[in-house]
Homo-oligomer: A and B are copies of this chain.
Amino acid sequence: MSTQAPHPALLIPGPIEFDDAVLQSMSHYSESHVGAPFVKTFGEALTMLRRLFITEDPASQPFVISGSGTLGWDFVAANLAERGDDVLVLHTGYFADSFADCFETYGVRATQLKAPIGDRPQLDAVEKALSEKKYKLLTVTHVDTSTGVLSEIEALSKLVRRVSPETLLVVDGVCSVGSEEIQFDKWNIDVVLTASQKAIGCPAGLCILMASGRAIERSRSRSTPPGSYFASFKNWLPIMQNYEAGKPSYFATPSPQLVHALHTSLTQILSVPLADRFARHKEVSQKVKAAVTKLGLRQLADKPENQANGMTAIYLPEGFTPPQVLPSLLKKGVVFAGGLHKEIATKYIRFGHMGVSVMDPKREEIDRAIVSLGEGLAEAGYKA
């Protein structure tokens, strides 16, 4: 029996449903942020992040900071590029536009490489762009939450290393860490930034980053100071190193309750082999996508290789809008999200299938949601 009050199943692409034990960790009694018990909890959470990102390189550095995924962009823009530098932003939806805005805020010139909605920039186009200009870093949204488009990180990394070896590879993993395979060392990634409330399965409020030794070195060898005080690798690096070494340390007060919840969720995630976790997300995603197709509906991401495994963005039938469809789904106990990509926001809905809703065999909310989607559309007059 769940300890949570009855509530509609939250199946948006984040925040997701949380496990009972994770939510209970949120109400941990108050502890000093520099006392031995909490230092141990925080240090263990950082060490577990190394396992989640599959990195054994001791130069890799995890960061857990109060904030949101968006704050991760400030970390990248304010530390890994300098005023006047060029960066290349691969665009697969809303979040690339915003990341580019963030760069511009710090005086960094962001060139966007765009693809049609539902698609991703092809490797030959990326190669061409990289050969035309010197980019300090390249960013890619692993899964764009606005479109459900999946990017290919390993092939991209090989390309960057071959064509422009000095360019750092930055992965926006807000909607992918925990539901898509990420091999930090093997794929030679420099930064993955993410947030707590999606497939990591911990309530919102934490910005989480993994930075390579090369990225840290880049932030150290700047010719100008970092562009942010709160979002500064320099200010947080000794703090994270101290927590992981079991030593109290202070720059700004972390959130003990959120870190406890993160510790619980990471412990759960790492209790099964990561390969099994990603396989299970793929399997459930295939089931959702097959059901969508059977209903005669199309996805924004229309090629199988472009499709995320933790969410599905679904075009509504012609003439239907999210405000017609979402309330009737809510009455059936299922919360989906509306569209977010500005050009087509009124034409599609988003179905998140990540974390405990996928991994906990006692939960049946995804099967229920599939049924509800069909029923809700039928009741609204749609004939598959």
Interface residue ranges, A against B (CB under 8 Å): 4-5, 7, 10, 12, 14-18, 23-24, 26-35, 66-71, 73-74, 77-78, 101-102, 104-106, 195, 197, 203-205, 225-232, 250-258, 335, 337, 340
A interface majority secondary structure: loop
With the chains together, A28 CA to B74 CA distance in Å? 29
With a cutoff of 8 Å between Cβ atoms, the chain B residues found around residue A34 in the complex are 337
- Write out the residue numbers on chain B whose beta carbons fall within 8 Å of the beta carbon of A66: 66-68, 71, 204-205
Per the bound structure, the CA–CA distance linking A16 and B30 in Å amounts to 7
Give the chain B neighbours of A26 by CB distance below 8 A.
26-27, 257
Picked from B28, B68, B106, B253, the residue with its CB within 8 Å of the CB of A252 is B68
Docked CA distance A16–B14 (Å): 30
Q: How far is it, in angstroms, between the C-alpha of A340 and the C-alpha of B253 when the chains are bound? A: 14
- A228:B29 contact, CB within 8 angstroms: no
Complex alpha-carbon distance, A77 and B105, angstroms: 14
Give the oligomeric copy count.
2
A101 touching B256, Cβ below 8 Å: no
CA gap between A238 and B79 in the complex, in Å: 28
5 CB-based A-B contacts, threshold 8 Å: A5-B29, A23-B28, A73-B229, A74-B231, A204-B254
Residue of B with least CB distance to A20:
B27
**In the docked arrangement, what's the CA distance between A231 and B231, Å?**
10
Q: Is the Cβ of A30 less than 8 Å from the Cβ of B203?
A: yes
Q: Which residues does chain B contribute within 8 Å of A77, judged by CB atoms? A: 229
Chain B: which residue is nearest A14 at the CB level?
Answer: B253
Q: Which of chain B's residues has its CB closest to A228's CB?
A: B228
Top 3 A-B residue pairs of the complex, sorted by shortest distance between their CB atoms: A205-B255, A70-B252, A26-B26
Complex CA gap A74/B74 in Å reads 12
Q: What residues of B have a CB within 8 angstroms of the CB of A71 in the complex?
A: 66-67, 230, 252
Bound CA–CA A335/B32 (angstroms): 8
Known A105-B227, A229-B73; contact A204-B33, beta-carbon cutoff 8 A? yes
A327 to chain B, nearest CB (A): 10
Residues of B with C-beta under 8 A to A7:
29-31
Query: Is A228 in contact with B74, judged by CB distance below 8 angstroms?
Result: yes
Closest Cβ–Cβ distance, residue A258 to chain B (whole Å): 6
Q: Roughly how many angstroms separate A5 CA and B5 CA in the complex, as a whole number?
A: 21
Closest partner residue, chain B, to A25 (CB atom):
B27
Q: Can you name the residue of chain B whose Cβ is closest to the Cβ of A103?
A: B229
B204 touches A255 (CB 8 A): yes
A335-B35 contact, Cβ under 8 Å, with A66-B204, A204-B66, A256-B203:
yes
- Distance in Å from the Cβ of A57 to the closest Cβ of chain B? 28
Question: Which B residue's beta carbon lies closest to that of A338?
Answer: B34
* Seed contacts A7-B31, A69-B253, A74-B229; 9 additional CB < 8 Å A-B pairs: A10-B31, A14-B253, A18-B30, A32-B337, A67-B71, A101-B229, A203-B255, A204-B256, A250-B340
A69 and B252 contacting across the interface, CB-CB below 8 Å: yes
How far is it, in angstroms, between the C-alpha of A26 and the C-alpha of B30 when the chains are bound? 12
**Distance from A335 Cβ to chain B, minimum over Cβ atoms (Å):** 6
